[in-house]
Structure 1
Amino acid sequence: MKNPVLMLGGLCLDRYCLLSQFPVKGQDTLIQDTFERIGGCPINAAFTLKKFGLDPILYSAVGAESIEKVRAFFQRNALQSEGLFVIEDQKTGFCMILLDDQKERTFMTYRGCEGTFRADRVPDLAYSACCLTGLYLIYGSDSENALAYLQQFFRQGRELFFDPGPLCDQIDPQLLEKAMRLCTHLKVNQEEQQLLKQTLGKPLSAYFQDRCQAIVVTCGAKGAQLITPHRTAHFPALPIQLADSNGAGDAFFAGYAASVLQGKPLDECMQIASACGALTAMTLGPHAEGGLKEILQLADSAKSAC
């Protein structure tokens, strides 16, 4: 295995309900269709990392009731499964995703055993980087142990890509501070940017004094910003036919991380990341079917738009 990247964020089951419209509170609506995917931020990101020739190692506890289904999914999609381990008496977490005809989505998340952290179960590989999502930091002592592991193994010469996510204001501020000081690249959306600033009590640019090299802010249809210690640059969004935005942010995150790890200039990393997010947003479900060829074609479009 040449390019292992540790993925920390917890595996969950995505349960989709497709609706014509959301009901008024207390009223009813019809479900048009329903389906399930194996999901969670690290799996969504792993699909994109693989397209760049990297080897994502997904570390997650899984409940006994779903392990066979999860292993079959990993085998079918050629994902490394050595980072999975079973918790016999607990359930795997899941996310209910409500998606209406206007592509508006609402998430309802049930936390299961996926946040369990045991350092001795992390595959012993020569990781060049770790992708960390904020959901992994709301599991109390398990999250503290995960951060202690990262502080020990990812401080010197290794990249840590951090995506705090929409629940970032529910992370213990001291734990969040540790993660911020450890990360080399931070990815947030505009709302998360404000939540982090309020929770931490200081601007995110303050972490340029630690290990942080760049802050990426996604702005939906307005594109994305790249903030470094030296400049702020804007990158427009690609015009697409939206099918489902679920997983698009994870694909953007992974495309950016993969490009950084391959030594590309940050402007090019942003264009590739935008293409990865766009490709996923054109797909129903969190995993885009297109490969690297389609990503690079879209990235060329992003370059022309800049």
Structure 2
Amino acid sequence: MNLQPFHPVGTPGQPWGKAEKAQWLAMQRRQRSHAEEVVEPLRALAGDWDVVEYGSLDYADDGHYPLLALRSRGWDDSLPVALVTGGVHGYETSGVQGALLFARGHAAAYAGRINLLVVPCVSPWGYERIHRWNPDAIDPNRSFRQPSPARESAALMELVEPLRGRFVLHVDLHETTDSDESEFRPALAARDGKPFEPGHIPDGFYLVDDSARPQPEFQQAVIEAVAKVTHIAPADADGRIIGSPVLAPGVIAYPLVELGLCAGITGAPYVTTTEVYPDSPQATPAQCNAAQVAAICAALDHVLAVARP
């Protein structure tokens, strides 16, 4: 077992305690503004959406953050509900900006056909620090279970709970970045006192289906739409993407509920997690945002055409 140092915090082979977590937290720096880049453009949509503050996070000296969602204006209880989430991992920028772009320029096409609930930035502290975790060194996207150790996850589950049984679709917007391999996975190994085992970052877009309830035709419809915007990640030499078998071009699957992942919180029959690759030389930030929008629209179009309630 290789226990050579691979992260500046902690002792190799020993899980972090309070001191190590405090040392890690002291290293984090605010690099952008949630208020300016998320809250202001979100509140500017109030004429077309109902803006809902479903909670807040008070991280003392690290900031106070409102948790905001967009709810369809003219909500119709006779219609099914679709959830779009972004920024569960705050550093994954196109998830946040893609959700806002969809809400601003594309959601109107679905008015009167389906109720939309859009949560552009689940983890605002992580958004500002361009980090995967919250300030407690917890990954919100492994924390969607009761009781949740992550306040971000608990607040979103509370928002969703009254609508369970009515969701037909959930699209959770993510990115896979080079920093996953260079920074975040080494930090995870250090935090848990485990050896870091290098992996491979795929070049391109892919989706994560629910292995407990797969929807291959739905996933493929989304892939086909996104392929018109950006390239789809190929399988590696072993037929895998990030260690998981490729089930169809650009599609892998996880047990969403078992792993405490955001895409498992609604019980919707149609769910997918998008994974954009923003570090590709073939992709621009605008293209990454557009890929997220294409995925949302394709998912909605498929559900409305095939899965009418």
Q: Relative contact order (alpha carbons < 8 A, sep ≥ 6): 1 or 2 greater?
A: 2
TM-score range, shorter chain: 0.3 to 0.5
Q: Would you tell me which structure has more strand in proportion to its own residues?
A: 1
Given the two structures, how large is their TM-score scaled by the length of structure 1? 0.34
Given the two structures, how large is their TM-score scaled by the length of structure 2? 0.34
